[in-house]
């Protein structure tokens, strides 16, 4: 009798434990979904099909944009399986501007990320991110006009946009209408530019312009100009699978920070699958000259998370028994490194200077400049 009671108790306990665990799993999934600020992301690879976009000597905008878009989507999915990642295109096809925005709106996206490449003089370089607004310079206006011009390749020759108002008054009205989304767009754009700067890209800033595709979306939306295909060095950078992955990883880093901020989640580096140090420093050719900006030296090791580094991504190396700390990574680009050095001085790192590496070895700066020019 006693044995039977204990058997019943044991079975009952097991059943209670199973129900408890099962209920907890269901609750956890529902709880995570209930509090998720971002459930759906739409990634828009610019141009495609009969619209190649801008081009360099050997590459086309539609190709480099698609590659980075797919890489970004995979990284988001790998780290956040519950997020619905939707591409406006995942192959080389032509998608009308109006339809790109409709895809985001139909799927009630929480974030719209549009990826492009830029064109200007051969000397132009760097990354900039746009939100909807009034252009402030002629160059910003040119970027928007070039990206909007693809409407003439649409079946109706762009007729559907004839009555579309992109006047300053209309854009201001739209900004007011979407003011909450605009604030979030600027927030995300700022994080993107910071992430690009952390991997050594020259920061051209967060800008505003009248992009049709941003005007028609009803969620936080940004358009990234990842670099200039008309610049030979930039074209090489944007056309390499390794550096495309670096750009996609930087975009994800900004995405993660933006998502965590919206959800009130504390940044825990150990909880993510991407090693930030590898984002900045991986996959360089063994012949590349890497320019960095040295901001600190110490006879004792300093934590890379020290407040004295002001949240910058830090690369540490040791030379002659001294620990040395650098920021940025500029591949064969001394000009960008020097400009970044001036920025770091303005940010309070008064003794900043440029150093150069071949592989893991620091080399003479003048020698490095000559090698980079080759």
- Where do the structural domains in the chain lie, given as residue ranges? 35-271, 285-373
- Give pTM, 2 decimals: 0.65
- Where residue 315 falls among pLDDT bands split at 50, 70, 90? confident
pLDDT tier for residue 25 given thresholds of 50, 70 and 90 = very low
CB of 61 closer than 8 Å to CB of 47: yes
- Is residue 6 over pLDDT 60? no
Residue 2 scores a pLDDT above 70: no
Which of 173-177, 233-237, 255-259, 307-311 is least confident?
A: 173-177
The two structure tokens encoding residue 282: 């991986």
Contact 229, 151 (CB under 8 A): no
Q: What is the mean pLDDT of the chain?
A: 80
Cα 301–chain centre separation:
31
CA distance 12 to 336: 69
Residues 94-152 pLDDT 10s: 998 889 999 999 999 999 999 999 999 898 999 999 998 765 556 555 656 666 666 66
Specify whether the CB–CB gap between 319 and 285 falls below 8 A: no
Grouping H, G, I as helix, E, B as strand and the rest as coil, residue 42 is strand
pLDDT in tens, 233-261: 999 999 999 899 999 999 999 999 999 88
pLDDT at 13 over 50: no
Q: What pLDDT, on the 0 to 100 scale, is given for residue 237? A: 93
Chain centroid to Cα 344, Å, comes to 22
Provide the 3-class DSSP secondary structure of residue 311.
coil
In this model, does residue 18 exceed pLDDT 50?
Answer: no
Secondary structure (3-state) at 231: coil
pLDDT band for 66, please (50, 70, 90 cuts).
very high
Residue whose structure tokens are 């009248």:
210
Question: pLDDT higher for 312 or 48?
Answer: 48
The terminus-to-terminus CA distance of the chain in angstroms comes to 90
As a whole number, mean pLDDT of residues 284-300 equals 82
Identify the three-state secondary structure at position 357.
Answer: strand
DSSP state of 152: G
What are the tens digits of pLDDT across the range 194-224?
Answer: 999 988 899 999 998 778 888 888 899 999 9
**Rounded-to-integer distance, Cα 33 and Cα 352, Å:** 45
Structure tokens at 100: 């790109």
24-38, 290-304, 349-363: range with lowest mean pLDDT: 24-38
Q: Cβ distance 143 to 209 under 8 Å? A: yes
In this prediction, residue 175 carries a pLDDT of 66
The answer to whether the CB of 89 falls within 8 A of the CB of 70 is no
Between 117 and 182, the higher pLDDT residue: 117
Q: What per-residue confidence (pLDDT) applies to 293?
A: 92
What φ, ψ does residue 42 adopt, rounded to 5°? Answer: -105, 125
SS3 (DSSP) at 265 = coil
Look up the CATH number of domain 35-271.
Answer: 3.40.630.40
**Parallel, antiparallel, or unpaired: how do β-strands 127-132 and 221-228 relate?**
antiparallel
- CATH 1.20.1050 given to domain 285-373: no
Number of neighbours of residue 153 by Cβ within 10 angstroms:
15
Q: What is the pLDDT of residue 149?
A: 63
The pLDDT value given to residue 223? 94
Indicate whether 12 pLDDT > 50: no
Q: What is the pLDDT of residue 269?
A: 42
The pLDDT, as a whole number, for residue 165 is: 60
Mean of pLDDT values over 350-374: 87
């Amino acid at each position: 009798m006693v044995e039977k009671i204990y058997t019943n108790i044991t079975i009952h306990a097991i059943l209670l434990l199973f129900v408890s665990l099962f209920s907890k799993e269901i609750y956890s999934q529902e709880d995570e979904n209930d509090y998720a600020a971002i459930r759906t992301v739409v990634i828009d690879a610019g141009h495609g099909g009969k619209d190649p976009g801008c081009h360099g000597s050997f590459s086309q905008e539609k190709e480099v944009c698609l590659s980075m878009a797919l890489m970004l989507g995979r990284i988001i999915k790998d780290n956040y399986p519950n997020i619905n990642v939707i591409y406006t295109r995942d192959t080389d096809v032509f998608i009308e501007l109006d339809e790109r925005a409709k895809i985001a709106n139909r799927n009630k996206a929480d974030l719209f990320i549009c990826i492009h490449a830029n064109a200007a003089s051969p000397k132009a370089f760097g990354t900039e991110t746009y939100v909807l607004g009034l252009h402030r310079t002629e160059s910003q206006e040119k970027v928007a006009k070039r990206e909007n011009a693809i409407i003439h390749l649409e079946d109706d020759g762009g007729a559907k946009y004839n009555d579309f108002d992109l006047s300053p008054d209309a854009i201001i009205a739209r900004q007011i209408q979407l003011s909450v989304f605009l604030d979030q767009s600027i927030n995300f754009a700022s994080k993107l530019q910071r992430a690009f700067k952390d991997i050594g890209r020259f920061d051209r800033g967060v800008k505003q312009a009248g992009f049709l595709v941003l005007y028609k979306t009803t969620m936080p939306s940004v358009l990234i100009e990842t670099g200039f295909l008309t610049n030979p060095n930039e074209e090489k950078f944007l056309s390499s699978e390794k550096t495309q992955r670096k750009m996609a990883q930087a975009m994800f880093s900004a995405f993660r920070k933006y998502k965590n901020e919206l959800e009130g989640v504390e940044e825990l580096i150990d909880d993510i699958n991407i090693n930030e140090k590898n984002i900045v420093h991986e996959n360089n050719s063994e012949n590349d000259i890497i320019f960095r900006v040295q901001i600190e030296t110490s006879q004792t090791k300093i934590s890379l998370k020290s407040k004295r580094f002001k949240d910058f991504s830090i690369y540490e190396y040791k030379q002659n028994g001294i620990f040395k700390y650098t920021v940025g990574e500029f591949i064969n680009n001394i000009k960008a490194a020097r400009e970044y050095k001036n920025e770091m001085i303005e940010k309070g790192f008064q003794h900043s200077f440029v150093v150069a590496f071949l592989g893991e070895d620091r080399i003479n700066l003048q020698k490095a400049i000559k090698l980079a020019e080759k």
